[in-house]
């Protein structure tokens, strides 16, 4: 597990609140899901009894026995967004999505956080929650336990 150097994080912490704008869901890359996450999402989207395999090839690929991946192309948003650009599984989204923007590559340097702030309206949003360095370390640990790695 990689915990970035958070010495630059102010004592009061970093401010973030997801606004649901979906901007982070339109960037090319991979969204990794555990089997549990994929099963839960499949049941939500395809109905009771659906499993990760139900949507295999339609929404995601299987990377390993318990790991699935959604490919977000250059000119297409995440397959989990609805036509209005809102996440269809926001309340049960994968850990990779739930821990954004607290990813090591964004937290590694103040400059990276500042850059991400220009891309995400939820960073330093007026109604944001504050996350201290210990909070952020815990978020990184939670993410590492699900085997999800940053992809976008």
Long-range contact set of residues 99-105: C-beta below 8 Å, sequence gap at least 24: 99/139, 99/140, 99/142, 99/143, 99/148, 100/18, 100/24, 101/16, 101/24, 102/16, 102/131, 102/136, 102/139, 102/140, 102/143, 103/143, 103/150, 104/2, 104/3, 104/4, 104/140, 104/150, 105/150
Here the tokens at position 9 are 């994080």
> Residue 1 above 80 pLDDT?
no
Please choose, from the candidates 100, 83, 110, the residue with its C-alpha nearest in 3D space to the C-alpha of residue 148. 100
Tens of pLDDT, residues 14-51: 999 999 888 999 999 999 999 999 999 999 999 999 99
Confidence (pLDDT) at 10: 93
Confidence (pLDDT) at 141: 85
Confidence (pLDDT) at 127: 81
Confidence (pLDDT) at 147: 53
pTM given for the model: 0.85
Which whole number is the average pLDDT over 134-150? 75
Here the tokens at position 3 are 């915990």
Tokens 């990760």 belong to: 52
The better pLDDT of the pair 63, 1 is held by: 63
Tens of pLDDT, residues 77-135: 999 999 998 999 999 999 999 999 999 899 989 999 999 999 999 999 888 899 999 99
Confidence (pLDDT) at 7: 92
Confidence (pLDDT) at 152: 35
Domain parsing of the chain, residue ranges? 14-145
| Cβ contact 98:122 at 8 Å | no
User: CA 118, CA 98: separation in Å to the nearest integer?
Assistant: 19
Here the tokens at position 40 are 């839960």
């Amino acid at each position: 597990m990689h915990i970035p150097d958070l010495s630059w994080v102010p004592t009061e912490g970093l401010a973030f609140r997801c606004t649901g704008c979906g901007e982070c869901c339109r960037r090319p890359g991979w969204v990794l899901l555990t089997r549990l996450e994929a099963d839960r999402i499949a049941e939500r989207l395809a109905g009771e009894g659906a499993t990760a395999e139900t949507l295999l090839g339609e929404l995601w690929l299987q990377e390993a026995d318990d790991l699935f991946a959604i490919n977000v192309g250059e000119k297409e948003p995440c397959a989990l967004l609805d036509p209005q650009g809102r996440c269809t599984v926001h309340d049960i989204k994968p850990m990779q999505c739930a821990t954004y923007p607290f990813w090591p590559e964004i937290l590694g340097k103040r400059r990276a956080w500042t850059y991400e702030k220009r891309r995400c309206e939820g960073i330093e949003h007026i109604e944001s929650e504050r996350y201290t360095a210990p909070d952020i370390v815990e978020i990184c640990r939670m993410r590492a336990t699900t085997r999800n790695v940053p992809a976008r």
